[in-house]
Amino acid sequence: MALALAGRLLMVLLLAGTGVAAPPPPQVSPSEATVDSITAIYNFGDSISDTGNLLREGDTGMLRYTTGLPYGVTIGRPTGGCSDGFLMIDFLAEDLGLPLLNPYLDRRADFTHGVNFAVAGATALSTTALANRGLTVSHTNSSLGVQLRWFKEFMSSTTNSPREIDKKLASSLVMLGEIGGNDYNYVFLQPRRTNDRHDPISNATRSAESLAHALSLVPEVVQSVADAAKEVLDMGATRMVIPGNFPIGCMPSYLTAATASSPASLRDGDGCLISFNVLARAHNERLRRAVGELRRSYPDATVAYADYFAAYLEILRHAPRLGFEGGAALRRACCGAGGGEYNFDHNRLCGAPGTTVCADPSRRPSWDGIHLTQHGYRVMTELLYRRGLACPAAVKLPRQKPCLPVS
C-alpha cells in the first residue's frame, strides 16, 4: 500500500517520482497520445493521491501546512499534493498520455479526462462509523463513501443514461485508493496527555490495546473498500487498481514515536517496527482476498492489486541503485524538525515554524516523515506499473514486466 498519513497528522499516512527538479509533465493531446485506449482516470483516496481537494475544503489543523511551500518546492509551486512535487497519480497520468487529474472540488476545472476525488486525511469508513468506535476524525468528513457519492453525481451530471456511463467507464481506469490507512492512524491519534503534552503516537506505540483496536477495524475497512469497488464495477468499470497499505512501521513518523517511548521496540531486518507492519500486513492480506473475490465476481473486468508494501521495501533494500542515499538518511525525513535519527517532530509538521528542508529531496524516500518525495513516488510508480508489483496489469505500458500469475 494508501495512506496510509505526525502526532496529530499521522492521519494522512505515508508516502513521487523524479529525482530531479522537473517541469510539469507535458499536457499532451489525449486523442493523439493515450495509452492502451485509456481516455480518463477516476481516482479515490487520501493524501497519497489528493491533488488539491483538502486545499479547497480548508484545514485549520496541522495539515494546513501541506497547502503551501515547501510542499511543491521541486516543481516551484504548491498544488495541494503532500510532497515536494508530483505524486504517483500524476506520473501514472503522464505514463498514460493524459493530462494531470484535477481535484473534484475545483469546480472550474476541466474533467474531460478524469477526476480526482481523493482528500488528504480521508478514511475508508464514514466518520459516523468511526465515531461509534470512539474515534474522532479531525481533518475531513470526505470519506470513501462521500467520494463515491461525488463520483456518482459527476457521472449523472455528465451523461444522459446508465448506458452512457457504462460506455464512459469502458475506456477509463479507476484507482480505488490507497485508502484505509487513516482509519488505523486515527486510532493512534486519539489524544492522551503525557508529560503535559498531547503525544498520541508515542502513547499508542506503547499501547497493545491501541494496536488491537486498529486490528479490529481491518475487516470493516477492507469491506468498505470492496463494497465501493463493487458499486463502481456495477456501473461499468472494466479496469481498476486497488492498492494496499504501505509498511507503516518503516515510516519516520512511527519510528520516531517508538524511539521516544521505547528505544527497544522490536524491529525487523529492514529496521522497521514489527508490530505496525503486522497491522499493515493484516490489512493487505485481507484486501488481497477481497480483490480475488472481485475478480471472480467480475470476470470481464481487470481488477489489480497494487503492492505498496513490497514497492516501498524495494526502495529501502535497493536505495543506492534507485537513486537514494543509503545509510541513516534512508529513514530521515527531508522536511521536518528535531534532527536526530529521523528528523521528525510530532508537533511540527513540515512547513511549520522551525522546520527545515534538506538540500536535495530527490536523494530521500521520505519527504515529511509521512509522505514520500517526488522521486520516491516516481520510483514507486515504476515498480508498480512497469515492474510487476500491480497485478494483473490493468493497463499495458511500454517496457512493462509481466506479472506473475494471480488467483
Give me the active site residues, please: 47, 368, 371
Residues 6+ apart with CB under 8 A from 400: 385, 386, 393
Residue type, 45: G
Q: Pick from 315, 51, 361: which is nearest to 175 by CA?
A: 51
